[in-house]
């Protein structure tokens, strides 16, 4: 066998009966074992989870590539970041000052800043340059505990640059340990010199057929299709056309909706069978009910609402209505945050989620939002051995310590292999 984790103070399974997601009541009963051990096989999948003495007897004859003593520590599933924009050139640090001085997101966007600024720099960057910064960013996400990350294109807005971004994501998928769900987000903004209708036609007639061709030849793998459905960007009808065309070539629908204005995005997503919708700060009550019924995940992004001083998404109302709530960092030049532990903390404080709900939202539900909860998001036999060991006797420290993950996360493990080992933890007793 590849790995034995022995005698963890707490082993947080998240769920234990192969649930594809947890709604509110399920999240409140988070599955947890004490004095427990876990075994990962050579195929990278979990072989056994249980009481330490039972596992010790069962595997007394087995050999392991590595044994980690987890006494006084907690084991959790690897975190899943359900929404990121990690491929781009040209940061927007100068715009942060403008935002702090009161400029709105759309004011900056209309003045040629925002997405347009990043597009200009991303178009000039080479694929190798984009790959190098992407790998660094993924490394920082991994050290903050993320083992599966959704990665969007969307700073090209023309076919060549979008493909360059998707190729960089494909190369990162092959060259890094972190799991990647790839998203085509060519409808992230209306390119300069085009109307929304012209941009929509271009995507449907040129971008998507080319993507289909590259998917079939195995050159790139794209999982999801995304559109920024927003007033002054892509309206409901354009959004519907693009998402349907993406669905027709086999992509999961996973899009930006109801962020700055109520657009009826949630109702549209439920109708089209969307796997997930992100943002939802301005979602309608009907939209919430429709998403709950359609089992469409709500990917909430507390960093964005915090940095843009928007009203917070109504996480409590969604949970009470039975929506599957997931979390993402929304890492991008506007919201520069790599850390899902900080996202969970913000979700608890600003969106009034419980710690259990936040952990479910950053593991099993985020995996569900990416269509991967059958293999990721919980510590169950048969699932991929992606996990974290934290240097604390209670798992809640991962959320309670705001920005403390640098000294708290002791090991990050993907498919049973230790990918990151934090020397700092060994020098400190558990806290």
Give the three-state DSSP class for 173: helix
Provide the CATH number for the domain formed by 80-370 in this structure.
3.20.20.140
User: What residues form DSSP beta bridges with 148?
Assistant: 80, 179
User: What pLDDT sits at residue 430?
Assistant: 65
Return the residue matching tokens 């969604």: 318
Q: Which of 85, 86, 74 is nearest to 355 (CA)?
A: 74
| Homologous superfamily of domain range 3-77+379-421 | Urease, subunit C, domain 1 (2.30.40.10)
User: What pLDDT sits at residue 426?
Assistant: 72
Rounded to whole angstroms, the Cα distance separating 156 from 54 reads 54
Cβ atoms within 10 Å of 294's Cβ, excluding its own: 19
Query: What do you get for the CA distance between the two ends of the chain, in Å?
Result: 31
Return the residue matching tokens 């790959």: 131
Cα 11 to Cα 331, 352, 378, 379, 418: the distances in Å are 29, 25, 11, 9, 17
Give the three-state DSSP class for 381: coil
| DSSP H or E segment with residue 51 | strand 46-51
Rounded to whole angstroms, the Cα distance separating 336 from 303 reads 9
List phi, psi (to 5°) of 248.
-65, -25
Contact indicator for 177, 414 with CB cutoff of 8 Å: yes
Predicted TM-score (pTM) above 0.85: yes
Contact indicator for 101, 109 with CB cutoff of 8 Å: no
Mean pLDDT (10-residue bins), the chain, 431 residues: 97 96 89 97 98 97 97 98 97 90 88 90 98 98 98 98 98 97 97 96 98 97 98 96 98 97 98 98 98 98 93 97 98 96 98 98 98 98 98 97 93 98 80 62
| DSSP H or E segment with residue 152 | strand 146-152
Return the residue matching tokens 């404080």: 349
Q: Which of 282, 285, 284 is nearest to 300 (CA)?
A: 282
Helices (H), 2-150: 24-28, 52-58, 93-100, 105-110, 115-124, 127-143
Give residue limits of the domains in the chain: 3-77+379-421, 80-370
- What's the angle, vertex CA 375, arms to CA 370 and CA 377, rounded to 5? 70
């Amino acid at each position: 066998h590849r790995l034995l984790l022995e005698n963890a103070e707490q082993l947080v399974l998240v769920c234990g009966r192969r649930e594809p997601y947890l709604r509110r009541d399920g999240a409140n009963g988070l599955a947890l074992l004490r004095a427990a051990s876990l075994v990962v096989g050579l195929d990278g999948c979990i072989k056994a989870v249980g009481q330490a003495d039972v596992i010790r007897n069962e595997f007394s004859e087995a050999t392991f590539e590595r044994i980690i003593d987890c006494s006084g520590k907690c084991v959790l599933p690897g975190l899943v970041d359900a929404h990121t924009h990690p491929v781009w050139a040209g940061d927007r640090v100068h715009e942060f000052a403008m935002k702090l001085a009161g400029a709105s997101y759309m004011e900056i966007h209309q003045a040629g800043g925002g997405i347009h600024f990043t597009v200009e720099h991303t178009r000039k960057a080479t694929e190798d340059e984009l790959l190098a910064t992407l790998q660094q960013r993924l490394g920082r996400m991994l050290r903050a505990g993320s083992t599966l990350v959704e990665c969007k294109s969307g700073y090209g807005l023309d076919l060549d640059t979008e493909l360059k971004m998707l190729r960089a994501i494909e190369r990162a998928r092959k060259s890094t340990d972190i799991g990647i769900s790839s998203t085509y987000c060519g409808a992230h903004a209306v390119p300069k010199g085009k109307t929304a209708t012209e941009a929509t036609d271009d995507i449907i007639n040129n971008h998507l057929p080319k993507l289909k061709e590259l998917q079939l030849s195995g050159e790139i793998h794209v999982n999801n299709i995304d559109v920024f459905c927003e007033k002054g960007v892509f309206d409901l009808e354009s959004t519907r056309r693009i998402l349907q065309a993406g669905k027709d070539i086999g992509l999961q629908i996973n899009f930006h909706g109801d962020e700055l204005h109520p657009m009826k995005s949630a109702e549209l997503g439920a109708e089209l069978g969307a796997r997930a919708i992100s943002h939802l700060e301005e979602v309608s009550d009907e939209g919430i009910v429709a998403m709950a019924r359609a089992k469409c995940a709500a990917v909430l992004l507390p960093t964005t609402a915090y940095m843009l001083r928007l009203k917070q998404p109504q996480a409590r109302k969604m949970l009470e209505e039975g929506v599957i709530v997931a979390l993402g960092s929304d890492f991008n030049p506007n919201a520069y945050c790599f850390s899902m532990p900080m996202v969970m903390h913000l979700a608890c404080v600003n969106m009034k989620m419980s710690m259990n709900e936040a952990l479910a939202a950053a593991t099993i539900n985020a995996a569900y939002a990416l269509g991967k909860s059958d293999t990721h998001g919980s510590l169950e036999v048969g699932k991929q051995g992606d996990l974290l060991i934290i240097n604390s006797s209670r798992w809640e420290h991962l959320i309670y310590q705001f920005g403390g993950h640098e000294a708290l996360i002791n090991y990050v493990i993907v498919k049973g292999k230790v990918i990151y080992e934090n020397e700092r933890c060994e020098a400190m007793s558990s806290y």
